[in-house]
């Protein structure tokens, strides 16, 4: 048979895809590599990741529209997230391509050999006698995955096999021939070779060979309990995680749509002052009264928290193409908290969340500075008392 070599870089292999040349009485029945497109789609879940990024982009743009921004501003707000999404999807595609290029599966009349690894190549030799069961999962076209369950107590670590391993089977990892072409024919060759080596007819325990996904499954009559114990990641954990994520998204969406979030409920103020912030040539920040324009004070040096809070609000204004003319509002809420509010973008920073020392820097800018609430500390028990 003809074996393609893909222009591989493993020049020092005695035989392509194999750690050593085969004995004279052993021959190759099939040899191939994963299809990188199918591997990216089914093995690395490219479509699911693309859907996630699409949801995040739509969420970001929708949030901007709900805040009153125009369509152009909403699209402009994606300028950082969109390149990250493209880079992430490109990385997945590149990983799938490199994996397919460096992975070689070989089926002989006595064993299955798997050469896997991108940077560090590892070869696994699986004699057909050690296989207890196998299954075929067919994908679009003629591609599919062939799982191999090992008999006995010998195991290969999940991380050593990945991604050529059956997903979620951590306790009893099953090597998998990923995204192989002509998967139905390869599975039939594997079944025939196994029966020839063991002298035992393969016993179907699943749908017939012609059935659609999940395909077919056969096992050794000498080890009928090979798949009796399920070894998959608990489905209820995934369902709970998905439920929590869905509940979070729905809750945040309702807050954004109805405006009944905690920030809105805390908006009532007992005292407030309009402030404007201007950069000076010497690097300082002048703080002016937003009503009269009179200087209040100036920020010298870095003063990290003050500058950081202002940068966050100024960055949002710049993203929407707004200037610095409109004043910010520094307010004391009815619950005693301190908030810096930007009426131009509806963004707010609850200052007391960063500690009383940082909040005090802004409280001094009020005409009647309030006494900042102390941060409660846990009570310390006297160790001398029983």
* Grouped pLDDT means (10 residues each) for the chain, 386 residues: 46 76 89 93 91 89 77 84 92 94 92 90 89 86 88 84 88 90 90 86 50 40 40 65 78 60 56 81 78 79 65 78 82 80 83 75 74 46 44
pLDDT at 4: 45
In the numeric block, which tokens belong to residue 282?
């010497």
Distances, alpha carbon 379 to alpha carbons 354, 376, 382, in Å: 21, 9, 10
CB burial readout 274-304, b (16+ within 10 A) else e: ebbbeeeeeeebebbbbeeeeebeebeeeee
pLDDT at 214: 36
Number of alpha carbons in the 13 Å side-chain half-sphere of residue 160: 11
Cα–Cα distance for residue pair 290/277, rounded to 1 Å: 9
Residues 6+ apart with CB under 8 A from 364: 297
Helical segments of the chain, H only: 36-38, 46-66, 71-76, 81-102, 158-161, 183-198, 235-258, 262-265, 304-319, 356-363
pLDDT at 87: 94
pLDDT at 257: 57
- In angstroms, how far is the first alpha carbon of the chain from the final one? 83
Distances, alpha carbon 47 to alpha carbons 42, 108, 178, in Å: 8, 34, 17
pLDDT at 104: 93
Residue in the structure block whose two tokens are 């209040």: 296
Q: What torsion do the CA atoms of 5, 9, 14, 15 make, to the nearest 10 degrees?
A: -20
Distances, alpha carbon 245 to alpha carbons 39, 89, 238, 248, in Å: 27, 22, 11, 5
């Amino acid at each position: 048979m003809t074996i393609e070599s893909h222009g591989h870089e493993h020049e020092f292999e005695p035989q392509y895809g194999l750690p050593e040349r085969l004995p004279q009485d052993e021959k190759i029945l099939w040899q191939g590599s994963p299809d990188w497109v199918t591997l990216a789609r089914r093995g690395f879940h490219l479509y699911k990741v693309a859907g996630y990024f699409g949801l995040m982009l739509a969420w970001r743009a929708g949030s901007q529209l709900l805040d009153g921004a125009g369509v152009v501003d909403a699209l402009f707000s994606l300028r950082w997230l969109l390149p990250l999404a493209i880079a992430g999807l490109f990385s997945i595609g590149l990983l799938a391509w490199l994996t397919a290029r460096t992975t070689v599966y070989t089926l002989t009349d006595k064993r299955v050999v798997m050469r896997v690894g991108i940077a560090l190549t590892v070869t696994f030799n699986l004699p057909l006698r050690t296989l207890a069961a196998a299954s075929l999962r067919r994908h679009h076209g003629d591609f599919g995955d062939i799982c191999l369950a090992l008999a006995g107590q010998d195991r290969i670590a999940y991380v050593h096999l990945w991604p050529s391993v059956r997903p979620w089977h951590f306790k009893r990892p099953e090597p998998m021939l990923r995204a192989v072409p002509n998967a139905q024919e390869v599975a039939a060759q594997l079944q025939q070779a196994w029966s020839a080596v063991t002298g035992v007819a393969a016993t179907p325990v699943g749908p017939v060979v012609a059935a659609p996904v999940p395909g077919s499954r056969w096992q050794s009559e000498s080890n009928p309990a090979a798949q009796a114990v399920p070894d998959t990641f608990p489905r209820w954990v995934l369902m709970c995680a998905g439920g929590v994520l869905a509940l979070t998204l729905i809750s945040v969406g309702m807050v954004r749509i109805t405006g009944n979030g905690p920030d809105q409920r805390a908006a009532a103020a007992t005292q407030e002052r309009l402030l404007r912030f201007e950069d000076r040539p010497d690097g300082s920040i002048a703080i002016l009264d937003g009503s009269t324009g009179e200087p209040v004070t100036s920020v010298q040096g870095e003063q990290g928290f003050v500058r950081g809070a202002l940068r966050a609000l100024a960055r949002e204004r710049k993203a929407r193409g707004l200037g610095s003319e409109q004043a910010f509002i520094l307010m004391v809420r009815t619950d005693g908290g301190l908030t810096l509010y930007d009426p131009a973008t509806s963004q707010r920073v609850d200052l007391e969340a960063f500690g009383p020392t940082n909040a005090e820097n802004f409280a001094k800018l009020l005409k009647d500075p309030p006494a900042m609430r102390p941060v409660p500390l846990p009570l310390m028990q006297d160790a001398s008392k029983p």
